[in-house]
C-alpha cells in the first residue's frame, strides 16, 4: 500500500470513528438537542468576551515565536500563527502545508531557510514539551483534590510516559540529544524489520540530528522567554475553557477543567483529521465525563471552546493570509 493509500485509509478510519462517536453520544447520557439549546442561549456578549480571551492568548503566544526566530516582530509572529493554523485546520494532515506557507512568509521578510528550520524545531518542540509535561501535573492535581474518576493508575502511567518523552525532547533541545537519537535509531531499525525490507536510507536518525543542530544555543539564550510565553498561553487557554463552561452555566471544579485542557491539548498531536477535528472533541468530552462532568454540559462546553481554538482560526487566519498577500503584492 502506497503512502497516499495509507493516508486515505487513516483518514477514513478516523472519520468513521468520529461518526460513530457522534451517533452514539446518547449512550453516555449526552443530548445534541440540549447541547445546542445551551449554546443558542449565549447571546452576543459571551462570544465577544470569549473572542477577546482567545485573541489575547494568541498575542501572548507570539512571545514563543519571536524567541524562536530572532528579529521576528510580534505582529508578524501573529500572522504566522494564524495563517499556518488556518491551513492546518482545513486540510488533512495540513501541518506541512501550513509550514510551507510560513516558510514563504519568513523568507519574504528576509530570514534564511536555516533560521526558519530552527524556528520550526524550537517553537514546535517547546509546544510539544508543554503538552508532554502537563499530564503529570493534571494527574497530580486530581489526586490531591481527590477528584472522583476511575482508571487512575492507567492515567498515571500514561502521564509518566509523556513526562519521560518530554524530558528526552528537553535534553535534546539543550544539546544533549544522544538519548533521543538512540530512541529514534531504535525506532528506525524496528520499522525496517516490520516492513521486512530493511532500508538503510530511511534517514530518521540523520534527519533528527540535523534538525537539532544549532538549536541548543538558541534555547539556552531564550529559554525564559519561551517558558513565560508558553505558560501565559496555557493560562489563557485554561481561562477560555473555564469561561466556555461558565457561559452555558455549567460549573466544573478547576482540577477537572485543567484535566480537560490537558487532554484537549495533548489530543491535538493526533492531527489525522484537519486540526484533529472530531477526535479532539470526542476525547476531551470522554475525559470530562469520566471525571464526573454532566455529559450534555461537557458536550456543549467543549463545542464552545473548540469553536474558538479551531473554527475561528480558519476565517481569521484566512484574512491574515490575504492581508499578507496584499502587502506583498503592493511591495
Q: What is the pLDDT of residues 175-184, one digit of tens each?
A: 888 888 888 8
Where exactly are the structural domains of the chain?
31-330
User: So what's the pLDDT on residue 275?
Assistant: 75
Q: Rounded to whole angstroms, what are the CA distances from 6 to 1, 3, 233?
A: 6, 5, 35
Distance CA 50, CA 175 (A): 40
The low-confidence residues of the chain, meaning pLDDT below 70, are: 1-28, 92-94, 147-150, 195-202, 329-331
User: So what's the pLDDT on residue 199?
Assistant: 55
320: CB partners within 8 A, 6+ apart: 78, 79, 82, 83, 86
Q: Cα angle vertex 321, ends 317, 323, to 5°?
A: 115
pLDDT tens-place string over residues 247-300: 999 999 999 999 999 999 999 887 777 777 788 888 999 999 988 899 999 999
User: So what's the pLDDT on residue 50?
Assistant: 96
User: So what's the pLDDT on residue 133?
Assistant: 95
Q: Rounded to whole angstroms, what are the CA distances from 143 to 51, 233, 252, 295?
A: 33, 25, 16, 22
User: So what's the pLDDT on residue 20?
Assistant: 62
User: So what's the pLDDT on residue 301?
Assistant: 94
User: So what's the pLDDT on residue 48?
Assistant: 95
Amino acid at each position: 500500500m502506497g503512502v497516499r493509500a495509507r493516508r486515505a485509509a487513516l483518514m477514513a478510519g478516523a472519520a468513521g470513528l468520529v461518526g460513530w462517536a457522534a451517533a452514539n453520544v446518547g449512550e453516555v447520557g449526552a443530548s445534541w438537542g440540549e447541547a445546542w439549546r445551551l449554546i443558542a442561549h449565549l447571546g452576543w456578549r459571551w462570544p465577544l468576551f470569549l473572542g477577546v480571551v482567545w485573541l489575547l492568548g494568541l498575542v501572548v503566544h507570539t512571545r514563543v515565536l519571536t524567541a524562536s526566530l530572532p528579529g521576528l516582530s510580534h505582529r508578524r509572529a501573529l500572522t504566522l500563527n494564524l495563517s499556518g493554523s488556518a491551513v492546518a485546520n482545513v486540510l488533512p494532515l495540513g501541518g506541512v502545508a501550513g509550514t510551507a506557507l510560513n516558510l514563504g512568509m519568513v523568507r519574504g521578510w528576509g530570514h534564511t531557510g536555516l533560521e526558519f528550520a530552527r524556528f520550526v524545531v524550537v517553537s514546535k518542540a517547546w509546544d510539544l514539551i508543554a503538552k508532554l509535561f502537563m499530564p503529570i501535573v493534571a494527574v497530580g492535581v486530581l489526586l490531591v483534590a481527590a477528584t472522583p474518576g476511575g482508571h487512575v493508575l492507567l492515567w498515571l502511567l500514561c502521564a509518566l510516559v509523556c513526562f519521560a518523552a518530554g524530558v528526552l525532547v528537553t535534553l535534546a533541545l539543550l544539546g544533549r540529544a544522544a538519548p533521543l537519537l538512540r530512541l529514534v535509531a531504535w525506532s528506525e531499525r524496528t520499522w525496517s524489520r516490520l516492513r521486512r525490507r530493511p532500508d538503510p536510507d530511511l534517514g530518521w536518525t540523520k534527519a533528527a540530528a540535523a534538525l537539532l543542530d544549532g538549536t541548543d544555543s538558541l534555547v539556552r539564550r531564550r529559554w525564559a522567554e519561551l517558558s513565560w510565553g508558553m505558560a501565559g498561553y496555557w493560562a489563557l487557554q485554561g481561562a477560555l475553557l473555564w469561561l466556555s463552561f461558565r457561559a452555558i452555566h455549567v460549573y466544573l471544579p478547576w482540577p477537572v477543567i485543567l484535566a480537560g485542557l490537558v487532554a484537549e491539548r495533548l489530543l491535538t498531536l493526533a492531527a489525522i483529521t484537519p486540526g484533529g477535528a472530531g477526535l479532539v472533541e470526542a476525547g476531551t468530552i470522554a475525559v470530562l465525563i469520566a471525571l464526573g462532568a454532566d455529559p450534555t454540559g461537557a458536550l456543549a462546553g467543549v463545542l464552545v471552546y473548540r469553536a474558538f481554538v479551531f473554527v475561528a482560526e480558519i476565517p481569521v487566519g484566512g484574512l491574515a493570509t490575504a492581508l499578507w498577500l496584499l502587502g506583498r503584492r503592493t511591495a
